[in-house]
Amino acid sequence: MVAARPRCATQLNPCMFKRTFRCKAASAAAVLFLLLALVLATAPAGAFPKPKSKVPEARSARAGWKLIWSDEFNGPNGSVPDPKKWTYDIGVGGAGWGNHELEYYTNSARDAAILNGMLVITARKGRYTGPAVAATDGQGGGTPATSSRMTSQVTRDYTSARIKTQGLFAQTYGRIEARIKMPRGQGMWPAFWMLGTGVDKTGWPSCGEIDIMENIGKEPSKIHGSIHGPGPSGSSTDDMTAIYTLPGRRRFSDAFHVFAVEWEPRVIRFYVDNHLYETATPAGLPHGTGWVFDHPFFLILNLAVGGSWPGSPDESTHFPQRMLVDYVRVYARQAK
């Protein structure tokens, strides 16, 4: 993994006569319906498979954990993610969110919507112009942008979505898991990860980052589980990363898989389908490196396009690309 791969995010939450209002509402509803119908009609067969069955909450985690928060994505087809649980990162985050990513993140239902009991995050190819919401610290993170910093415009060749629970839900310790089916293609970069809630004050990497799952298109059978924190100098990043490879040359885009961490004081264990493949502790960090993973973190789901690590899409990459999320669940350790 790239040595310095900042991921922290600028936060932006964009938020008459009765006859006129009703007409506008009806028109908007009609447009949304037609848009959803067009998406369904043009999607290739199997693009939106309904999961065979949701894993029961009582059996999705090991014994000893109690469910405390979840999103099963059971809203109406075409609806946006639950605004009581999720908000958005919008824009290009300075220099592509610190990673030279190529997409523009939106809060449109075209890019993140509920369908067949799943969250569908869609990366699309097509020129898009929007406010150039800049990062505050040059590392891709920080405080909400002000209106004066939103006046300039930027154009990108791709759109996608990055949703998060920042300001709505955060957790210290527990089992955090999601059931996800990956997209497939060079330049794709789906991720399920967490950032420390202090990101707006301390910045990255001091806030801490826990990458529960990252996949890049050129490695269809591999996922990465990582932690990122400040290096011995206090400013550079220090990473601890492990790779899980599916056996039998299978690809993560072929089926749903459960990605999880079990996070307790001074230890983080990484799982794929309940197979433990990495255990991170302070002992595994270089001498002088601080452990910054014993405080609240919020959740993030996103589908990036391009960047320093995965590289750009090429002629083999077909769009749109979709990341399907069956559920996200958070458990707390039950008292013995």
Q: Please give the positions annotated as active site.
A: 209, 214
Q: What is the C-alpha separation between 149 and 158, in angstroms, rounded?
A: 22
Q: What is the C-alpha separation between 207 and 328, in angstroms, rounded?
A: 22
The CA-based dihedral angle spanning residues 170, 174, 175, 176, taken in that order and rounded to the nearest 10 degrees: 10
Ordered alpha helix ranges (H), the chain: 18-42, 57-60, 199-202
Name which of 220, 225, 231, 219 is nearest 292 in CA terms: 231
Contact (Cβ atoms closer than 8 angstroms) between residue 280 and residue 238: no
Judge residue 10's burial from the number of C-beta atoms within 10 Å of its C-beta, 0-12 exposed, 13-18 middle, 19 or more buried: buried
Task: Calculate the alpha carbon distances from 256 to 62, 122, 251, 325, 330 in Å.
Answer: 19, 16, 10, 8, 18
